[in-house]
Amino acid sequence: MRVLTKKSETEWIDYIRNRFKSSKAVLGIGDDCSIINGDENLALTSDILIEGIDFKCNWAPFRSLGWKSLAVNLSDLSSIGAKPLYFLLDLAIPEKIKDYQIEDFLKGIETLSKLEGIELIGGDLSKSSSKFFISITAIGIVEGEPLLRGKSKVGDFIYLTEPIGGADLALNLFKKGSTLDEFPLNGKVKPKNKILDRFFRPPSQTLIGRTLSRQKIASSAIDISDGLISDLSKLISGLGAILEVDKLPKFDEKVSLKSLLYGGEEQTLIFTVNKSEEHLLGESKIKCFKIGEVIDTKGIFLKRGNSIKEVRPFGFDHFSKNRHFLTKIRLK
């Protein structure tokens, strides 16, 4: 008799990884990128964006959607320390979307690809019955040591590359009916559009990721796509972490603690640094924020003054409806 339960996103990844084990890949299923070894280490990643799940077509100009579609893949490459090289683009386009909108979409991708030095080399086009589907596969080269998950050690410091919460704040505004009326490709965003623009235009992490890799600064790294707490729990893999709430940088004063902890779509990096390597971070001139430390007590804890709470590692999951909640706990 079959049990009619639904797997979570993490459970599906584990299921697929166990059935499709690679003996040839340097790094297979489970990280932000996979790595294959030829003359050099190549990093590969792919992302899918689906109308009605990840975006709505009336939220913003189509060029913003093109920009974001490529940006989420660039974020994955940066989290492993790769230099972007090439990408493949697959589109399934419904009848309702006009040619000029697709041209605008491609303009967004083209502009960002030139800024990041990544070339479109192929893909596929198809017709969709109702929804707009976007899939990009990106390829990069790892010039130094790959930045992997699960390599943190107790005592490592936790860093964040950018203020967070803006993308989640924007998403909530879009859901309430807000729309973005412009998306300047030169990046000169009007102050009134700063928050909504952030959902589609994450800051580039390519140089930061490559620097962390080439200079062997970070012990591990991941990009925030599902939320700080969720992705941090993946990063430290079996260890614990304590975060200083007052040191979490906000994108905007309107950002709530819930958005800081659980908001996804950030496409910024969290990474860990061993205490003995912290001087390298200072010498690199990378702008970042120290937000906590890896500990040997399993779990993720928030510290504010003398108060410490454990926070459950829930975040965005395509197949789960878990709710976020905090539990008071004493740290041993």
d(CA 247, CA 256): 14
Give the pLDDT band of residue 332 (cuts 50, 70, 90): very low
Where is pLDDT greater, at 27 or 163?
Answer: 163
Do 169 and 255 meet the contact criterion of CB atoms below 8 Å apart?
yes
Q: How far is CA 142 from the centre of its chain?
A: 18
Q: What is the pLDDT of residue 153?
A: 94
Q: What is the pLDDT of residue 318?
A: 47
Q: 35 phi and psi, to 5 degrees? A: -125, 130
Q: H helices of the chain, where?
A: 9-19, 62-79, 99-116, 166-175, 194-200, 206-214, 228-236, 257-262, 278-284
Return the bridge partners of 164, or none: 250
Q: Which fold has domain 157-328?
A: Phosphoribosyl-aminoimidazole Synthetase; Chain A, domain 2 (3.90.650)
For CATH 3.30.1330.10, the residue range(s) in the chain are 9-142
Show the beta-strand stretches assigned E in 119-219. 119-128, 133-142, 157-160
Lowest mean pLDDT among 8-22, 130-144, 164-178: 8-22
Q: Tell me: the pLDDT tens digits for 316-331?
A: 454 455 444 333 333 3
d(CA 54, CA 49): 6
Q: Tell me: the pLDDT tens digits for 45-79?
A: 999 999 999 999 999 999 999 999 999 999 999 99
Average pLDDT of the residues of the chain:
87
For CATH 3.90.650.10, the residue range(s) in the chain are 157-328
What is the percent of the chain where pLDDT is above 70?
82
d(CA 77, CA 118): 11
Lowest mean pLDDT among 13-17, 52-56, 117-121: 13-17
Where is pLDDT greater, at 314 or 57?
Answer: 57
- Helix or strand (DSSP H, E) at 45: strand 41-50
Q: What is the pLDDT of residue 42?
A: 83
Lowest mean pLDDT among 139-153, 172-186, 281-295: 139-153
CATH code for the domain defined by 9-142: 3.30.1330.10
Do 260 and 306 meet the contact criterion of CB atoms below 8 Å apart?
no
Mean pLDDT, rounded, for 36-47 = 76
Q: Strand, coil or helix: what is 6?
A: coil
Residue 237 neighbours by CB distance under 10 Å: 12
- Helix or strand (DSSP H, E) at 300: strand 299-304
Give the pLDDT band of residue 38 (cuts 50, 70, 90): low
For 295-306, letters b (16+ CB in 10 Å) and e give: beeebbbbbeee
Indicate if the pLDDT at residue 167 is higher than 70: yes
Q: Which two tokens stand for residue 113?
A: 């690809």
Indicate if the pLDDT at residue 10 is higher than 80: no
Q: Which two tokens stand for residue 163?
A: 């203020």
